[in-house]
Amino acid sequence: MIDAISGAIAGLRTAVDMTKVAVDTRDAIKIGEAKSALIERLLDVQNACLALQESNAALAQDKHLLAQEKRELEAQIVQMRDQANRLAQYERMHTPAGSIVFVDKTTKGSPDGAVYACASCMDEGKVSTLQPIFRGNQLTCPVHGTFGLNTEPQRGPMGMLFPKK
């Protein structure tokens, strides 16, 4: 009978050991499945992080481009304001000969004579000072040519009269 009890106890031990092996195997499978699920979730999070980094880089580049465009536009505004202030110094007038020119308001009544600017250049946003020629009877622009100032006949070299234009 002791042999039978010893055999039963040995069988019971074997059953317990087999149960432990089965539980350990089951736990190892569950742990493996949990690891796989965690790794899969970690990869999803990592991919989402990479997508966010790409999006962030694109937004940073857009921000940089917009800041550069803003600086350029601000510089254009300053340039346009300066140009408007410069052009505001002049007023449009007709010369006695019928030409349209701009005259500097500050020199209009000056004893040294008014300073004139080309109307065509002013329309282009530039100020080109007209230089007097033929003893002040005409004004010349380096870009657009000559404009009549007075209606009086012009005298050329040696006192010769030129016809009115």
Confidence of residue 73 (pLDDT cuts 50, 70, 90): very high
In whole angstroms, give the CA distance from residue 72 to residue 144.
Answer: 31
Give just the sign of the alpha carbon dihedral 34, 35, 40, 46. positive
Model's pTM, two decimal places?
0.51
Spatial strand order of the sheet with 116-118 comes to 90-94, 100-104, 116-118
Lowest mean pLDDT among 82-86, 99-103, 155-159: 155-159
| Coil, strand or helix at 22 | helix
Predicted confidence (pLDDT) per residue in 122-149, tens digit: 888 888 888 888 766 788 899 888 887 7
Kindly tell me if the per-residue pLDDT of 12 is higher than 70. Answer: yes
For the chain, which residues make up each domain, given as ranges? 1-88, 89-162
Out of 5-14, 73-82, 87-96, 102-111, the most confident range is: 73-82
